[in-house]
């Protein structure tokens, strides 16, 4: 039986020999390492003399690193779940650019509540953003990234590598998913000024903005419209795809819906029903008179060549329109908020507005847009009249 202290490759080691069993263990470097090794040798010698062979037991396997679990999650998660390509891109980008550089080399067991809160603090401070040097990472981006972190840690729980998910105890609220403060709709006067300014820039631009405002579509849904999606006799469009990150994908809810493009949201009228004003119906003449019209039924309504209008070009045109119309800048998605708030303020049935705009549920509309509803209707869900329901439930147009 022997326990010896040796120096090898710049470090102090223990060589343990006991009844033919051997084990070598690295203790440390420098004078402190030597002292620690000598003290450990005395303790181990005493334990072996008493027949305690625990010091000879193999070391427990080390926990895998956060990086290895995160990379495995990135590979497995999209194969096991139906996830939108854009959402997966966001998760992958945040994981590779923020999570792995910060946590990557740590054992998964070392990802604690305190470490996560330190990460949040670092990302919200100047320099937390990678894209914008010296800037803090936005709360919206951080919220998405923390969802990915929570999913990675949930996988570690399922693999029984950690006892619980520390994300549950993290003191982080961030922005609510449906932040009412982000809803800043245009007034009717502003819409009219925008459409007038767009006409001076180009009639095709005015047609696109009018269709967008009168239908309640999302930006990607407008850009993803193809010729065969339109029924100009009925004034309807079939919304079944979205254009995002330079590729086509399903709608946000994964459902196809038929919508009217004739709602009079840009007119000073209490009426909300589609096609009730001449101005609202003018979008049909605009669509028939588009400068570039391909014979291909799969050609994009608003696009160039074989592809739709790019997001960059859309935003460039958008800024020109607002500047020319002298309208305070808001993001293009405010057209969708304008549609919802205008329709509800005119007593349009809540379920009809939900179906038209493709919101997941009426409760979303109530939570975000209730302040625009007449006070006597705000707490309730108004049923959809049969004649209105037919607009959005034309046979063969909806996938449930």
Q: What does the buried/exposed string (b/e) look like for 117-139 if buried means 16 or more CB atoms within 10 Å of the residue's CB?
A: eebbeebbeeebbeeeeeebbbb
Per-residue pLDDT at 398 exceeds 80: no
Residue 231: is its pLDDT beyond 90? yes
191 & 120 share domain: no
Whether residue 354 is contained in a domain is answered as no
Domains contained in the chain, number: 3
In this prediction, residue 70 carries a pLDDT of 94
Alpha-carbon distance of 228 to 242, in angstroms, equals: 15
- Of 118, 140, 175, the residue at which a domain comes to its end is 175
Percent of the chain's residues with pLDDT above 70: 88
pLDDT, residue 378, reads 46
The span from the CA of 111 to the CA of 157, in Å, is 12
pLDDT of residue 61: 64
Domain boundary among 112, 142, 175: 175
Q: Is residue 146 assigned to a domain?
A: yes
Phi-psi domain of 19 (left: phi exceeds 0; alpha: psi -120 through 50; beta: other): left
219 located within any domain = yes
Q: pLDDT-based confidence at 178, cuts 50/70/90?
A: very low
What is the helix (H) or strand (E) element at residue 280, kind and residue range? helix 278-288
Tell me the pLDDT of the chain averaged across its residues.
Answer: 85
Mean pLDDT of 80-90: 83
Helices vs strands, H then E, count in the chain: 15, 10
Which residues form the domain of 251? 186-341
More confident residue, 146 or 21: 146
The phi and psi torsions of 78 (rounded to 5 degrees) equal -65, -20
Predicted local confidence at residue 53, as pLDDT:
76
CA distance 379 to 28: 68
In a domain, 40, yes or no: yes
Non-local (6+) Cβ contacts of 193 within 8 A are 325, 326, 327
Q: How confident is the model at residue 56 (pLDDT cuts 50, 70, 90)?
A: low
Least confident stretch, 69-83, 177-191, 245-259: 177-191
What pLDDT digit, counting tens, does each position of 149-176 carry?
999 999 999 999 999 999 988 887 654 5
Shared domain check, 238 and 120? no
Q: What is the pLDDT of residue 40?
A: 85
Do 73 and 145 lie in one domain? The reply is yes
User: Is the same domain home to 7 and 80?
Assistant: no
Determine the pLDDT at residue 224. 92
User: Where among 141, 175, 209 does a domain terminate?
Assistant: 175
pLDDT value at 387 more than 60: no
Q: Which pLDDT value is given to residue 226?
A: 92
Do 217 and 139 belong together in one domain? no
Residue 68's pLDDT is 94
Task: Say what the pLDDT of residue 103 is.
Answer: 92
Pairing mode, strands 257-260 and 236-239: antiparallel
Q: pTM value?
A: 0.62
């Amino acid at each position: 039986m022997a326990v010896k202290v040796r120096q090898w490759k710049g470090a102090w080691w223990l060589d343990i020999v006991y009844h033919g069993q051997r084990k070598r263990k690295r203790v440390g470097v420098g004078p402190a390492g030597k002292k620690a090794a000598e003290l450990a040798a005395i303790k181990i010698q005493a334990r072996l003399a008493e027949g305690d062979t625990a010091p000879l037991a193999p070391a427990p396997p080390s926990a895998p690193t956060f990086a290895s679990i995160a990379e495995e999650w990135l590979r497995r998660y999209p194969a096991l779940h139906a996830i939108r390509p854009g959402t997966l891109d966001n998760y992958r980008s945040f994981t590779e650019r923020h999570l792995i550089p910060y946590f990557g080399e740590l054992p998964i067991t070392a990802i604690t509540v305190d470490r996560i809160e330190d990460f949040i603090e670092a990302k919200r401070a100047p320099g937390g953003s990678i894209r914008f040097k010296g800037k803090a990472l936005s709360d919206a981006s951080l919220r998405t990234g923390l969802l990915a972190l929570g999913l990675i840690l949930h996988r570690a729980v399922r693999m029984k590598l950690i006892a619980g998910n520390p994300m549950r105890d993290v003191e982080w609220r961030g922005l609510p998913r449906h932040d009412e403060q982000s809803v800043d709709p245009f007034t009717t006067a502003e819409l009219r000024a925008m459409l007038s300014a767009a006409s001076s820039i180009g009639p095709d631009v005015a047609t696109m903005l009018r269709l967008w405002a009168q239908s309640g579509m999302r930006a990607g849904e407008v850009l993803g419209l193809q010729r065969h999606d339109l029924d100009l006799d009925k004034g309807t469009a079939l919304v079944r795809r979205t254009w995002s990150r330079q590729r086509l994908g399903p709608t946000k809810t994964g459902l196809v819906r038929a919508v009217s493009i004739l709602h009079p949201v840009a007119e000073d009228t209490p009426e909300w029903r589609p096609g009730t004003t001449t101005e609202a119906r003018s979008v049909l003449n605009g669509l028939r008179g588009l400068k570039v019209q391909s014979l291909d039924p799969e050609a994009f309504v608003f696009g160039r060549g074989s592809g739709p209008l790019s997001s960059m070009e859309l935003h460039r045109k958008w800024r020109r329109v607002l500047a020319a119309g002298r309208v305070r800048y808001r993001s293009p998605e405010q057209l969708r908020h304008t549609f919802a708030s205008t329709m509800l303020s005119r007593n349009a049935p809540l379920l009809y507005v939900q179906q038209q705009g493709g919101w997941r549920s009426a409760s979303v509309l109530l939570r975000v847009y209730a302040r625009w509803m007449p006070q006597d209707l705000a707490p309730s869900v108004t049923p959809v009249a049969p004649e209105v329901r037919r607009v959005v439930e034309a046979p063969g147009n909806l996938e449930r």
